[in-house]
A and B are shown apart, each in its own frame.
Chain A
């Protein structure tokens, strides 16, 4: 190991300090939300709840998990995220690899065709009519098929593929591999970081999408967790309807319910985000340097 110069040591110290500051600034709000989700809503309304719950309660989560349909929604979300991510990443990677080939006839045309779709879209109603014609309404496949190809991901994939050393492919071809063979035997193993990144992005998209299901799905058994949580949150917040309760009941409710819309929304946020947030640390192991060099020597 070469000794670090003075300048490099200063740089390292500054970097560690900045990153620590950033980590605190990005962690605290999330932590505070977590704390509030475990704190009585009425108590939170008094302010001053910061690093630790002051009036510990599971009541907020009680309301969220009270709904029996939640487990099913969880399962739907996991299935959708897994299937949607795997299929979309595979198809988009193949697509991008094809488009990265300079000799591909119509390459420029194909690219322009794709890029246009990033800026022009016909809007909701034509899409809705199309989905209905294709028989995808109220079907699990409406989560998967329309988002199979992501132009954005394709562009990123392609950029990475183009950066791969050309020599690798040449040598594989001399060994008699076709383009598909090269793709699966050389390109995929070399693309760990980008596949991990785009899988993460795609998984986040699938996990977070609540709008699609609320338009295309009417059977409750197919609703994913995000849409379900929105419903749970909405049906528990104080609405104009609740203002019409008779005053005796209002007084009673005020006494028993310590849940506020804020405390409940923090709890739903935690339930909705923690599963997907936990994916990232797992994905990070594919970011280790030297993947490329290892394969080269193989």
Chain B
């Protein structure tokens, strides 16, 4: 039945045809999708009853059936907690900073790498820039702390030698500097790894397009905007949609390990660190689940919105 499965003719068929017949006619495509979908259902949907714990006072000892139901108690506790506004504000601000700086950074790197004609140089930079992705946050945080230390920290020594400062700056204890340190560390760590997928997208561009543009007199700089960017735009948009859906994930390990000074809590406490401290560490699983559920609902809302807007730009998730 392959001859029937191209897009346009199908749409023209009258709707009266029974769904079953239509389904059978495209059974080969359905068979591409259904086995994988079955796995998704088994491994993601069957265990999903776990989210109901958000509405219980779940005790690991009593189990799911015996734990008492509490309705929206945990949600209310979260919303009414004195920390709620601070935590939400930090989550949103840090997320947005990461989105506006951390999201374009790998694209920029991919574009720059694309301009490099020396293959050896390009490969070395590519490989080297993705190394930090493999260092654990514990090691990275240790590194940042010793670099920014006031006792012999290399950054302070450098600034002092260049006469920019007279006294060492206590970088990791100043609330006004924390967001910058956090975001730049994150960019440094993930920029190389994040650029890979854009490099893959760039590799798919037809080289004859550049040749044509060059004939028309477009400079290399212009070609980036005329050809490279538009060509990878569908991938960029999809990643942007997903990133918007992730806006409530402001970070966890990075913040936990970089914001060790309690004076930073006013600017560093985000949903995930808060839930870890208040929920997980105290075995309050229901509370943690409730906050997680709240996050998921907001995330799906954001995602839907982003997808709606993106659809007008021509690419969308669904």
- Are A and B in contact, CB atoms below 8 Å, in the complex? yes
Contact residues of A with B, CB < 8 Å? Answer: 2, 4-5, 7-8, 11-12, 15-16, 18-20, 22-23, 25-27, 29-30, 33, 47, 91-92, 94-95, 97-99, 101-105, 107-108, 110-123, 125-127, 129-130, 145-146, 148-149, 151-152, 154-156, 159-160, 162-163, 170, 173, 176-181, 183, 192-194, 196-197, 200-201, 208, 265-266, 269, 273, 276-277, 280-281, 284, 286-293
Which residues of A sit under 8 angstroms from B43, Cβ to Cβ?
127, 130, 145-146, 149
Indicate if the CB atoms of B296 and A120 lie closer than 8 Å: yes
Chain B residue numbers with a CB within 8 Å of A2 are: 214
Which residues from B are CB-within-8-Å of A16?
Answer: 116, 121
* B 205-244 contacts with A by CB, 8 A: 205-208, 214, 219-221, 234-235, 238, 242
B132 touches A155 (CB 8 A): no
Judged by a CB distance under 8 angstroms, whether B22 is at the interface is: yes
A180 to B27 alpha-carbon distance, docked (Å) = 11
B residues less than 8 Å from A125 (CB atoms)? 50, 60
Encoded as 1 (CB less than 8 Å from any A CB) or 0, chain B from 29 to 64 comes to: 111110111011111111111110100000010000
Interface size of B in residues (CB-CB distance below 8 Å)? 92
* B207 touching A197, Cβ below 8 Å: no
- Chain B nearest CB from A124 CB (Å) reads 8
Residue from the set A19, A155, A156 with the largest chain B CB neighbour count within 10 Å = A19
Main secondary structure of the interface of A (DSSP, over half): helix
Partner of B317, one of A145, A155, A176, A289: A155
Question: CA–CA, A192 to B204, complex, Å?
Answer: 9
A-contacting residues, B131-149, CB 8 Å:
131-132, 134-136, 139-140, 143
A22-B191, A162-B234, A200-B196 are contacts. A193–B203 as well, Cβ < 8 Å?
A: yes
Kindly report which residue of chain A lies nearest to residue B223, judged by CB atoms: A8
Q: Beyond A98-B32, A291-B203, is A33–B139 a contact (Cβ under 8 Å)?
A: yes
The main secondary structure of chain B at its interface with chain A is helix
Instruction: Decide: B23 and A105 in contact? CB cutoff 8 A.
Output: yes
Chain A contacts of B36 at CB under 8 A? 91-92, 94-95, 148-149, 154
| Total A-B residue contacts, Cβ distance less than 8 Å | 262
Residue of A nearest to B288 (CB): A123
Given the contacts A117-B44, A148-B39, A163-B204, A105 and B238 also touching, CB distance less than 8 Å: no
Residues of A with C-beta under 8 A to B293:
120
* 8 closest Cβ pairs, A-B complex: A122-B50, A98-B32, A126-B47, A122-B47, A95-B36, A193-B200, A178-B2, A117-B44
Residues of chain A lying within 8 A (CB to CB) of residue B113: 19
Complex CA gap A172/B143 in Å reads: 55
B123 touches A47 (CB 8 A): no
Q: Is the CB of A194 within 8 A of B47?
A: no
Q: Are B2 and A4 in contact (CB under 8 A)?
A: no
Q: Which residues of A contact B109 (CB under 8 A)?
A: 22
Asked if B47 contacts A127 (CB within 8 A), the reply is yes
